[in-house]
Amino acid sequence: MKICIIDADLIGRKKHRFPNLVCEKISAYWKEQNAEVELKLNYENLEQYDRVYISKVFTDTPVPQWIQDGVDMDNVSVDLPANIYVGGTGFFFAKAPNLPNEIEHHMPDYHLYDDWIFDEVKKAEARANSEGREFKRSKFIAQFKEYLDYSIGFITRGCFRKCGFCVNKKYDHVFEHSPLEEFYDLSRKKICLLDDNFLGCPNWKELLQQLIATEKAFKFKQGLDERLLTQEKCDMLFNAKYDGDFTFAFDNISDYDLIHSKLKMIRNSTKSNKHSIKFYVLVGFESTDHIDIENCFKRIELLFKYQCLPYVMRYQNKNETPWKDSKYRSLYVTIARWANQPSLVKKMSFRQFCEANQALHKTKGTYCSSMKSLVDFENEYPDIANRYFDMRYEEMKCF
């Protein structure tokens, strides 16, 4: 039996560096049946395989036209050669069918990508040698850490919130999905959880205790729902061996008071800045006007007070990118360029960031795009600009 596995995001997205868990589970399942399994990096000669599995996570990842034409996203059906199986949110968005149980609950094949990584390292080393540069192997290999260092899985699945911008609409509650031992590989240094809303699981405490008991660093890649934090949850989480930044979301300005109370709770558990705490700040979803811009800055202001970092996410879905049609398109870009670079946002106000860009602008007597977006908005809405454009992370700590 010859099995071909195609991680479409790996082929179609240049900088994509995260293993496709479905591909890893399919691989492990078929290897156990003694099949010959290949991770394929192109779409050629697919007829030579008994089964070809093509998976993609992102809707905007390109695939060959014949595949796209054969997929009916709305009716979750395909009209493709019989040996081709496609799946994932990238093809079917919120309607993506589940894997069969025996594959879904299989230990992933964490070595599916080994040959590809080996080839990438070899190619980069050869390139460096031919250009007379030193090849820093460990630095280069760091980009593959998610493939090499982590056990990956969903300890819970589902979410009850049904946010309008989110793909997770299939379930209306959070439930236990994979017991830790189903995907936990002792030989791997760390654990990466892909759960949709872990804190919403009724059994969160026992599951968190299990994670802590492994003594491995762990992280929730999709972020955590800070609206569900309690002091007990904060104390356990912020004292655990967490891997990297804690990530939450501050999507709606209507949650302002609730988030404020949770930020106080977070800082009760962690007074210092030892933990980097980041919040996604969704923009361009409810509107793309001055109110949306103001709401963005208002959320950033609150985060700064509790020494948390924003990550501005410009909303887009499979068909639309509303911020690109906004008169503030350039302002959205500038805000994201400022807010999403921790080293800059910690040191500079928004205005200082634009001034720094202007200083590098070559055409004298004109504004660079960043400064122009600031000036235009400030002329239109001086009160909003006055309140937010000069605020500085360093000066705002309130706890």
Give the interface with ligand SF4 as residue ranges (CB under 6 A): 159, 161-163, 166, 168, 196-197, 225
- Comparison of 121 and 166: residue with beta carbon closer to ligand SF4: 166
Nearer to ligand SF4, 163 or 356 (CB): 163
**C-beta of residue 59 within 8 angstroms of C-beta of residue 89:** yes
Residue closer to ligand SF4 (CB basis): 109 or 225 = 225
Nearest approach in angstroms of CB 296 to ligand SF4 is 17
d(CA 182, CA 280): 30
For residue 306, the 8-state DSSP code is T
Comparing CB distances to ligand SF4, the nearer of 94 and 126 is 94
**Closest CB to ligand SF4 among 227 and 329?**
227
User: Minimum distance from CB of 294 to ligand SF4 (Å)?
Assistant: 22
- Both tokens assigned to 46: 């697919």
Q: How far is the CB of 34 from ligand SF4 (least distance, A)?
A: 38
Report in angstroms how near the CB of residue 122 gets to ligand SF4 at its nearest. Answer: 39
- Contact between 191 and 211 under an 8 Å Cβ cutoff? The reply is yes
Please list, in sequence order, all residues whose beta carbon lies within 8 angstroms of the beta carbon of residue 248, skipping any fewer than 6 positions away. Answer: 223, 224, 225, 226, 277, 278, 279, 280
CA distance 89 to 96: 5
Nearer to ligand SF4, 156 or 295 (CB): 156
Contact between 290 and 377 (Cβ < 8 Å): yes
Q: Tell which residue, 203, 196, 202, has the closest CA to residue 171.
A: 196
Q: Is the dihedral of CA 112, 115, 121, 124 positive or negative?
A: negative
Give the shortest CB-268-to-ligand SF4 separation in angstroms.
Answer: 23
Q: How far is the CB of 160 from ligand SF4 (least distance, A)?
A: 7
| CA distances in angstroms from 133 to 123, 124, 144, listed in the order given | 13, 11, 21
168/317 with CB nearer ligand SF4? 168
CB of 207 to ligand SF4, least distance (A): 17
Phi, psi torsion values for 111, nearest 5 degrees: -110, 10
CA triple 43-44-48, angle to 5 deg: 110
What token pair was written down for 20? 């496709």
Torsion of CA 300, 303, 309, 314, to 10 degrees: -40
Question: Would you call 284 helix, strand, or coil by DSSP?
Answer: coil
Which token pair is 339? 């807010």
Q: How far is the CB of 251 from ligand SF4 (least distance, A)?
A: 7
Smallest gap from Cβ 322 to ligand SF4, in A, equals: 17
CA distance 307 to 396: 8
Nearer to ligand SF4, 51 or 227 (CB): 227
Kindly tell me which of 165 and 399 has the beta carbon lying closer to ligand SF4.
Answer: 165
Q: Of the two residues 103 and 167, which places its CB atom closer to ligand SF4 in the complex?
A: 167
Amino acid sitting at position 91: F
Q: Closest approach of Cβ 83 to ligand SF4, in Å?
A: 34
Per DSSP, the three-state class of 87 is strand
Indicate the pairing of strand 156-157 with strand 175-176: antiparallel
